[in-house]
Chains A and B, each alone.
Chain A
Amino acid sequence: MGLEYVKISPGFEKYMPRDYVDLVQFGQFGKQIDVMQMGQFKELVEEHPMCAGCYMAYFIRVFYAALPNPEDTIVLGTAGCARLALSQAAVPFIYGNYGDTNAVASGLKRALSIRFPDKVKDVVVMAGDGGLMDIGFGMTMHSWFRREKFTTIMVDNEVYGNTGGQESGMSPKGIQLKMAPTGKKFDKINAVELAQVAGCVYVAKISPTNPKRIAKTIKRAILAAREFGPTFIHAYTSCNIEYSIPTREVLADARNREKQDFKFYEWMTDEVKEYLEEIERKEKEKAKEEVGQ
């Protein structure tokens, strides 16, 4: 059905909430949006209760703008900061129990494949470092081992932001946080390498400093998951509250981390590479034709 379900029945436009009408008329359903146009169309997420200056909120905004198929996408989240914005978006959202995103997504994706074998239904997990690498670790890994065809995006703020700033498996070694009163005792978990060995077909690590690059990475991850298997993006999305980053410096912090341990990294299998290059070549040709006309 996809696009059909977001349409408003004729005659009902004036009774629908204004923001819903705007979403259908000026939103991105059924269109391919360039993220550089953000601010010029009705976005899938607008209101959210995340902290002022939260870089995760920015990343989530770009994520929604980058969806290749928003009218047929379901997003899953878990307890934590990200779900505060995810649950406010105009894309169906599932919030399960603590850390169970990748198990729920496994069942959901399989059910959708059974019920709609000829349709594209994208399933995307977006959860924090605690949800994916601590409490939900086993479920994250096993969804990859089983080669489930959905995308996992880890928004890594290196802390349990939502429960009040506890150390997570992704916090840097030595850092003093709540529940690590004398400093964290071990290194950040290497999630990207784990994803590679666990069977992901596309893996990226990114510090979200460049919206075009974020969008390309997200799109690639979703397209590859549709055809080949699990895909993973590890995104640095700082917690300006727990790490005391002044709002005006969050981008500078992201750039700084990009130089250090969040250098852009992208890996994919040969077949994924071939597949994505073919899609992107066709898109370029189409764009050229449109410019020519």
Chain B
Amino acid sequence: MPEQKVVEPEELLLKAPREKKFITGSQAFAEAVKRANVDIAIAYPITPQSETMHLVGDLYAQGYVKDYYRAEEEYGTMSAIAGAVRGGARAFSATSGPGLLRGLEAIVSWPGHRIPVVLGVMTRVVNAPLSIQPDNVEIAYLLHSGLVVLHAENQQDVFDFTLAGFPISEKVDVYLPVVVATEGFFVTHAKGYVELPPEDMKLPPRDPYKAPVPPTDCEIPPARIQRDAPVQKSNFMSYLIHAVWQQEVWSANRRAMKWIYHYLGGPIEVVNPDAEVFIVASGCAAAQGREAQRYAELEGLPVGLIKVKALRPFPEKEIREALKNAKAVIVPEHNIVGWLAKEVKAAIPNGGIVVDGPRVYGGMTLPVELIMDEVYKALGIKKEKTLA
């Protein structure tokens, strides 16, 4: 392993020269962890996440990560992450589909405990019949738990979001876990071009004392910190404490937005802002939406794309502004419930222009033609379907 010099996140993320590599999404996660100065990574296997945590294990063997172990199961993994982070360490883990649900009770308590950590979520089918294929219905609950949720379209996003996730999560005014979600297999097991900064640079170590909720390490006064901490009070007060604390968690979540602008250039990307019809999508659906927008452009159709990078905090204001002149909004998704369509509908004053779909699930790919069908419908173009 090369000697790594500590550089500020701005240097590493925004200024350092980058070199183009052709790597998988799993490798992109590991490349981010390699530069993130991670103290401890805890892993439990589940397809399609395992490869990422194998690679992080290799980083431990090489000395990039200080401690690493295979935990007993996801609940144990996510609880141990909470312990490590409360002890002042910087931590990383990743999971997928059923594993995410198994660890969910611990994961959704992280925001309330103010656990700054980065969790990779490689989305996968949860419900029966069994499938190991991507389907991002699991993201739905994460959106309601106070975590910062970023949704990566491709391998480059995986790298950038994961590396930026650490400084975002550790900002004093945020201090929340950051989830970097991406579609399993489609991104994790496929290669793409990723611009990488040098591997001999790393983030500054975590400073656990720069925190709204300090670490539990017997180093800071007062001794009775936990007795008076708002998160541990008795049942008699907990309803009030919970309400106040959750409001603060959600305020912190909104405060993450300025750091998303700072490190990631903002929560959305807009292609063809003057279009009449917009495709709004996140993750892999954004990649397919991008392709549909390109088709439409070739056909001379007024179609634009809004890629949603940050699902929490949700870029309500930005989406409303970008869609202010839209006549129709198509929201393709990789899940049956359509959580993004609901969010977009609620964010704009004329929600009726939102088309619920197309949606695929259970691991199906999202054909560009399905999105184009909705584009033609929205523009009133009749396309004859004939058998070849």
* A binding-site residues for B, Cβ under 8 Å: 1-2, 5-7, 20, 23, 29, 49, 71-74, 76, 84, 87-98, 100, 103-116, 121, 138-139, 141-142, 146
Q: Are B217 and A121 in contact (CB under 8 A)?
A: yes
The contact sample of 8 A-B pairs, CB cut-off 8 A, is: A20-B224, A71-B223, A92-B218, A96-B79, A111-B89, A113-B67, A121-B218, A139-B79
Contacts of A103 in B (CB 8 A): 71-72, 75-77, 79-80, 83
| Nearest CB on B from A110, distance (A) | 5
Residues on B with C-beta less than 8 A from A121 are 217-218
Contact yes or no, B85 A111, CB < 8 A: yes
Neighbouring B residues of A5 by C-beta, 8 Å:
218-221, 223
Q: Give the residues in chain B near A105, CB-CB below 8 Å.
A: 83
CA distance A49 to B226 in the complex (A): 16
Given the interface pairs A89-B227, A97-B105, the reply to whether A72 lies near B218 with Cβ below 8 Å is yes
Residues on B with C-beta less than 8 A from A142 are 71-72, 76
Min CB–CB distance A12 → chain B (angstroms): 10
Q: Residues of B contacting A88 with CB < 8 Å?
A: 227
Is A108's CB under 8 angstroms from B218's CB? no
Return the CB mask of B65-97 against A: 1 if under 8 Å, else 0: 011010111011101111111111101000000
- Report A148 CB to chain B, min CB distance, Å: 10
Determine if B322 is an interface residue (Cβ-Cβ < 8 Å): no
Measured CB to CB, the closest approach of chain B to A103, in angstroms, equals 4
Q: How long is the Cα–Cα vector from A96 to B91 in the complex, in angstroms?
A: 17
- Assuming the contacts A5-B219, A111-B40, asked whether A100 and B89 have C-beta atoms less than 8 A apart, the reply is no
User: CA of A158 to CA of B331 in the docked complex: distance in angstroms?
Assistant: 55
Q: How far is the CB of A6 from chain B (nearest CB, A)?
A: 5
Cβ B226 vs Cβ A114 within 8 A? no
A95 near B232 (CB under 8 angstroms)? yes
- A141 contacts across to B, CB distance below 8 A: 72
Q: Which residues of A contact B39 (CB under 8 A)?
A: 111, 114-115
Most B Cβ at <10 Å: residue of A90, A95, A106: A106
Smallest CB separation, A289 vs chain B (Å): 30
A94 contacts B83, C-beta separation under 8 Å: yes
Contact, CB under 8 Å: A93 / B226: yes
B240 at the interface (CB under 8 A from A): no
Are B234 and A84 in contact, CB atoms less than 8 angstroms apart?
yes
Alpha-carbon distance between A109 and B91 when the two chains are bound, in angstroms:
14
In the complex the two chains form, is B75's CB within 8 Å of A49's CB?
A: no
Cβ distance B112 to chain A, nearest Cβ, rounded Å: 11
The CA-CA distance from A142 to B76 in the complex, in Å, is 9
Kindly state the interface size class of chain B when it binds its partner: 35 or more
Decide: B67 and A114 in contact? CB cutoff 8 A.
yes
Asked if B225 is at the interface of the complex by the 8 Å CB criterion, the answer is: yes
Closest A residue to B221 using CB positions = A5
Interface contact A107-B66, CB-CB below 8 Å: no
Kindly identify which residue among B71, B75, B216 contacts A74, using a CB–CB cutoff of 8 Å: B216
Interface string of B200-234 (1 = CB under 8 A from A): 00000000000000001111111111110000101
Would you call B50 an interface residue if the criterion is a C-beta within 8 Å of the partner chain's C-beta atoms?
no
Q: In the bound complex, how far is the Cα of B33 from the Cα of A100, in angstroms?
A: 26
Contact of B218 among A73, A84, A139 (CB under 8 A): A73
Residue numbers in B under 8 Å from A92 (CB-CB): 216, 218, 223, 225-226
A-side contacts of B42, CB under 8 Å: 107
B106 touches A (CB below 8 Å): yes
Q: Are B83 and A91 in contact (CB under 8 A)?
A: no
B80 A98 Cβ-Cβ under 8 A: no
Give Cα A10 to B96, complex, Å: 53
CB-CB < 8 A to A113: which residues of B? 67
Tell me whether B109 is interfacial, beta carbon within 8 Å. Answer: yes
Give the chain B neighbours of A107 by CB distance below 8 A. 40, 42, 79-87, 89, 91
Residues of A within 8 A of B82 (CB): 96, 104, 107
List 16 extra interface pairs beyond A6-B222, A95-B232, A107-B89, CB under 8 A.
A5-B221, A6-B221, A29-B223, A71-B223, A72-B218, A87-B226, A94-B216, A100-B79, A103-B77, A103-B79, A107-B80, A107-B85, A110-B87, A111-B86, A115-B88, A116-B217
Bound together, the chains give a CA A121 to CA B89 distance in angstroms of 15
Partner of B83, one of A29, A106, A114: A106
Which residues in A have their C-beta under 8 angstroms from that of B66?
Answer: 114
- A110 lies within 8 A of B67 (CB): yes
**Chain B hits for A98, CB < 8 A:** 105
Chain A proximity of B199: nearest CB distance (Å): 22
Verify B219–A110 contact, CB threshold 8 A: no
Residue of B nearest to A69 (CB): B218
**How far, in angstroms, from A14 to B147 measured CA to CA in the complex?**
42
Interchain CB contact under 8 A, A108 and B76:
no
> Do B232 and A108 touch (CB < 8 A)?
no
Please give, as numbers and ranges, the residues of chain A lying within 8 Å of B76 by CB-CB distance: 100, 103, 106, 138-139, 142
Closest residue to A135 on the B side, CB-wise?
B75
User: Once the chains are docked, how many angstroms separate the CA of A106 from the CA of B70?
Assistant: 12
A121 to B130, CA, bound (A): 45
Chain B residue at smallest Cβ distance from A100: B79
| Closest 5 pairs (CB-CB, A-B) | A111-B87, A107-B83, A107-B84, A107-B80, A111-B89
- In this complex, the member of B73, B80, B82, B105 whose beta carbon has the largest number of chain A beta carbons within 10 angstroms is B80
Give complex CA distance A6, B224 in Å: 9
Are A93 and B232 touching (Cβ within 8 A)? yes
* A183 vs B194: C-alpha distance when bound (angstroms): 63
Given A96-B79, A107-B81, A108-B87; A74-B72 close (CB under 8 Å): no
Interface pair B224/A104, CB less than 8 Å apart: no
Per-residue contact bits, chain B 221-251, to A (CB 8 Å; 1 contact, 0 not): 1111111000010100000000000000000
A103 to B80, CA, bound (A): 5
Task: Report the nearest B residue to A105, measured CB to CB.
Answer: B83
Docked CA distance A54–B87 (Å):
32
Given contacts A5-B219, A107-B79, are A87 and B232 in contact (CB under 8 A)? Answer: yes
| A20 and B79 contact, Cβ closer than 8 Å, known pairs A87-B227, A92-B216, A115-B88 | no
| C-alpha spacing A60/B109, complex, angstroms | 27
B85 and A97 contact, CB distance less than 8 A: no
Tell me, in angstroms, the Cα distance from A106 to B84 when the chains sit together. Answer: 8
Chain A residue at minimum C-beta to C-beta distance from B39: A114
* A2 neighbours in B (Cβ, 8 Å): 218
